[in-house]
Amino acid sequence: MPHTAHIPSHRKPRQSASKTALRAGVAGGVLSTIAVAGAAGPAQAEPVTQTIEMPTITSGLSPAVAASAEATQQVAFDLETQANEDAAAKTAAKKAKTAKAEAVREAEAKKKAEAAAKARAQAAEEAAERASRTAERTTLSASTGSSAESSASSSTPSYSSSSATGSAASIVAFAKAQVGDAYVMGGTGPNSWDCSGLMQAAFRTAGIDLPRVSGAQSTAGTSVSLSNLQPGDILYWGSQGSAYHVAVYVGGGQYVGAQNPSTGVVQRSMDYDMPTGAVRVL
């Protein structure tokens, strides 16, 4: 091959000087801009402020806001008022409950006081009645003793020694079985008696219903002499029809009766306290 032959080259063709210069200029401009921005730095950058005018929207809402605030205030006031009313009602209920309890206590205390006063009055009445009966018995015993002494020289009562039989035996046995029981005014047994209560219970064992009080029992049968007594006869002290004490004759010149609170039910000789009279029911 001749030395002058053209050998293709693998190098890129060179760009024209004008394009190279254009590109260099553009690149230089960009780099310059970057360099300037970097030199200024973010610390030296001033913020951009700008006032933007916005349309006013609250002017039309002011009455509504005011109304809402007023409503909220009214609700708060109503709640506070309700709370105060509830507290006042609670306090009033508590005071009413305390007053009611106090009234109940006072009523109970008054009731107890009245019961105690009634019991004291009844006890005083019973004591007065016992004292009256004791005084009457003393007076009667004194007069009976005088009469007995004046007639002792002429005659001495003789009492039958016969034992009780039949219904009389039942009456006498019941009366003797109660000896030692307590005397209680108005008592009708089974462990405490007054004189007429004991007599009524004793005669009931024989199927006989006596009146409840001494005066009526002294007229319940036929009058008999004290010198002609039989077991089961009713002895009485005082006037017949208004006697203040009764007992049952048990034979051998003795009687059984609920005497008084200090002695209770006793069996005694008629000579100890001579009765006024006697009646026979059997």
Nearest C-alpha neighbor of 273 from the set 188, 179, 260: 260
pLDDT range class, residue 71, cuts 50, 70, 90: confident
| pLDDT at residue number 105 | 83
pLDDT tens, 172-181?
999 999 999 9
What's the CA angle centered on 215, arms 211 and 219, to 5 degrees?
A: 70
Q: Choose between 95 and 125: higher pLDDT.
A: 95
Does residue 244 contact residue 137 with C-beta atoms inside 8 Å? yes
Helix (H) or strand (E) holding 61: none
pLDDT tens, 160-193?
555 778 899 999 999 999 999 999 999 999 999 9
- Maximum average pLDDT range among 27-36, 83-92, 115-124, 201-210: 201-210
